[in-house]
């Protein structure tokens, strides 16, 4: 369904965000087993809940829960392991007052997470796995949001000499094709967000071109999510700095993204990014009101 200008918003399960409000900060919550603890699943769940509580205190708008590392070259996590990591965290956090996003491409994880109370599914595969579109179009998915991300090739091979004739045009064409498929399945535009997938089958120059041209990702006026935090393009700009020393660069990149129309920035450093986005918003509005 097409939206009229008066009703433009991003529906994120139980939550609804007007697109003319301050851009949102999505905090990254990795749920990975702690190799130094013998507490197993409970230890990883409890550590994730503590990290989420810290991000909430820092002003996070959306919590993005991920159980599988999509690190370039990494192997896939078995379904049962991903479910065992992610679902207890959704159950523990569903009453936290913030929308819960699940970073997954597996339809079984989507369905289980939505049944457990997740509000948004963030899919690095852009809902291309068999059954993913159907999982999101099912009545059980309710009004859950979707983040449709572009990736060239797959996490194992994507960083082996990425090539495009026109990176911005090719990423936009991919996102347009996915929007068409999701609409045809009956999913409302209000549930959709788009993401060029920084670092997913792209060189640093591809990523910088996509960031510079970010307004071209806002197809049909849909909200754009940008995930640049601590990524290797920032390391390349800084002469090979490691991820923990890319925080100022990450904040600068987040401000560049919101300046170019991003509605959601996905970040590790919530406190600093919230301050930066509020400051950008106040300057944009020439007013401190409701920063």
Q: Select the span of 45-53, 66-74, 174-182, 208-216 touching ligand 7PM (CB under 6 A).
A: 66-74
231 has catalytic annotation: yes
Structure tokens at 132: 């993913």
Query: How far apart are CB 121 and ligand 7PM at their closest, in Å?
Result: 10
Report how far apart, in Å, the C-alpha atoms of 127 and of each of 34, 35, 105, 139, 278 are.
30, 31, 7, 17, 32
The residue among 260 and 282 lying less far from ligand 7PM, judged by its C-beta, is: 260
Select from 109, 124, 144, 151 the one that contacts ligand 7PM (CB under 6 A): 124
Query: How far apart are CB 72 and ligand 7PM at their closest, in Å?
Result: 6
CA 221 to chain CA centroid, Å, is 18
The residue among 22 and 202 lying less far from ligand 7PM, judged by its C-beta, is: 202
Euclidean distance between CA atoms 7 and 102, whole angstroms: 26
R_g of the chain computed on alpha carbons: 18
Query: How far apart are CB 288 and ligand 7PM at their closest, in Å?
Result: 31
Select from 105, 127, 198, 280 the one that contacts ligand 7PM (CB under 6 A): 198
The residue among 11 and 229 lying less far from ligand 7PM, judged by its C-beta, is: 229
Report how far apart, in Å, the C-alpha atoms of 14 and of each of 56, 112, 232, 253, 273 are.
17, 17, 34, 29, 24
> How many chain residues touch ligand 7PM (CB under 6 A)?
18
The residue among 69 and 282 lying less far from ligand 7PM, judged by its C-beta, is: 69
The catalytic residue among 231, 260, 278, 284 is: 231
User: Taking the alpha carbons of 66, 71, 76, 81 in that order, is the dihedral positive or negative?
Assistant: negative
Euclidean distance between CA atoms 248 and 231, whole angstroms: 12
User: Phi and psi of 222, rounded to 5°?
Assistant: -70, 150
Give the interface with ligand 7PM as residue ranges (CB under 6 A): 28, 69-72, 103, 122, 124, 147, 149, 195, 197-199, 225, 227, 231, 266
């Amino acid at each position: 369904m097409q939206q009229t200008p008066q009703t433009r918003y991003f529906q994120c399960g139980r939550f609804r965000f007007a697109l003319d409000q301050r851009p949102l900060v999505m905090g990254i919550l990795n749920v990975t087993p702690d190799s130094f603890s013998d507490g197993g699943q409970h230890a990883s769940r409890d550590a994730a809940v503590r990290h989420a509580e810290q991000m909430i205190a820092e002003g996070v708008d959306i919590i993005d829960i991920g159980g599988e590392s999509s690190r370039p070259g990494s192997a896939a996590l078995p379904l049962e392991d991903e479910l065992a990591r992610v679902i207890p965290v959704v159950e523990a956090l569903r009453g936290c007052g913030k929308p819960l996003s699940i970073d997954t491409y597996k339809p079984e994880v989507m369905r289980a997470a939505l049944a457990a109370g997740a509000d948004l599914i963030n899919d690095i595969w852009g809902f291309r796995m068999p059954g993913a579109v159907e999982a999101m179009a099912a009545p059980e998915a309710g009004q859950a949001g979707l983040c449709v991300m572009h990736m060239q090739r797959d996490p194992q091979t994507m960083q082996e000499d990425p090539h495009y004739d026109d990176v911005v045009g090719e990423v936009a064409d991919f996102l347009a094709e996915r929007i068409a498929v999701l609409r045809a399945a009956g999913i409302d535009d209000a549930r959709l967000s788009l993401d060029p997938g920084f670092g997913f089958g792209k060189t640093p120059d591809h990523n910088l071109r996509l960031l510079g041209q970010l307004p071209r990702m806002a197809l049909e006026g849909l909200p754009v999510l940008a995930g640049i935090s601590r990524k290797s393009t920032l390391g390349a700009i800084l002469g090979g700095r490691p991820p923990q020393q890319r925080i100022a660069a990450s904040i600068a990149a987040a401000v560049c993204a919101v300046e170019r129309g991003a509605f959601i920035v996905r970040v590790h450093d919530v406190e600093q990014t919230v301050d930066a986005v509020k400051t950008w918003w106040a300057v944009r509005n020439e007013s401190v009101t409701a920063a």
